[in-house]
Amino acid sequence: MRSFIQILIGVVLAVATLVATGLVYVKATGLRGQPEPGLIETRVARTIRAFAIPREMRARTNPLVGSESARWLGLEHFARYCALCHGNDGSGVKSAIGRGLLPKPPDMRALATQGLTDGELFYIIENGVRFTGMPAFGTGTSDQAGDKQAWELVTFIRRLPQITADEIGYMESLNPL
């Protein structure tokens, strides 16, 4: 009986400490969108995100890989719906909205993004990333046209490290005002 009471007191103290830490965090940060998350927070967040993506989704491969037309269609969607945060070249830095988002949209030309599997990219486009500015573009149900569009975007994201000035010029003509 005594040990039960001791455990109970321990649990209550632990919960109270957690709540107090949470309140201090909320007050100290004002829950502002800034400052930028540090390296450790970013690493931890990316690891948890990778863990959260179901294994069978991660293992999916792009059915449109190597398709010229998919790459161009992906480029057009990207210019219209993604570039406002990610920039036409995927670097994220030049876009008005991307600059103020924390965590920032990463440089998608770099290994951190290019090293994600096709399935991971597809899953992120369809479902977004919780607690960040990355919106979900899927409808939440299996929809062939939507899936095709997401795979076209994956095809285009693979192109980003070699994107040309001509392609960027064409994207600029499609960017929303």
CA dihedral 76, 115, 65, 79 (to 10 degrees): 0
Query: What sign for the dihedral angle of Cα 36, 41, 47, 51?
Result: negative
Place of tokens 């455990």: 7
Please report which residue ranges of the chain form alpha helices under DSSP H.
2-29, 39-52, 55-58, 68-77, 83-86, 96-100, 111-114, 118-127, 144-159, 165-174
Return the range that interacts with ligand HEC (CB under 6 A); candidates 6-14, 95-103, 140-148, 166-174: 95-103
CA pair distance 48, 46, nearest whole angstrom:
5
The residue type at 126: E
- Nearest distance from residue 111's CB to ligand HEC, in Å? 9
- Nearest distance from residue 57's CB to ligand HEC, in Å? 13
CB nearer to ligand HEC: give 100 or 169.
Answer: 100
Q: Which of 70, 79, 82, 160 binds ligand HEC (CB under 6 A)?
A: 82
- Asked if 148 is part of the footprint of ligand HEC (rule: CB under 6 A), the reply reads no
Tell me: cis bond preceding 176? Omega within 30 of 0 counts: no
In order, the DSSP letters of 68-86 are HHHHHHHHHHIIIIIHHHH
Q: Which of 70, 79, 87, 113 binds ligand HEC (CB under 6 A)?
A: 113
Q: Which of 57, 101, 163, 168 binds ligand HEC (CB under 6 A)?
A: 101
Q: Which of 58, 103, 146, 161 binds ligand HEC (CB under 6 A)?
A: 103
- Asked if 86 is part of the footprint of ligand HEC (rule: CB under 6 A), the reply reads yes
- Asked if 70 is part of the footprint of ligand HEC (rule: CB under 6 A), the reply reads no
Binding-site ranges for ligand HEC (CB under 6 A): 49, 81-82, 84-86, 97, 101, 103, 105-106, 108, 112-113, 116, 121, 124-125, 129, 132-135, 137, 153, 157
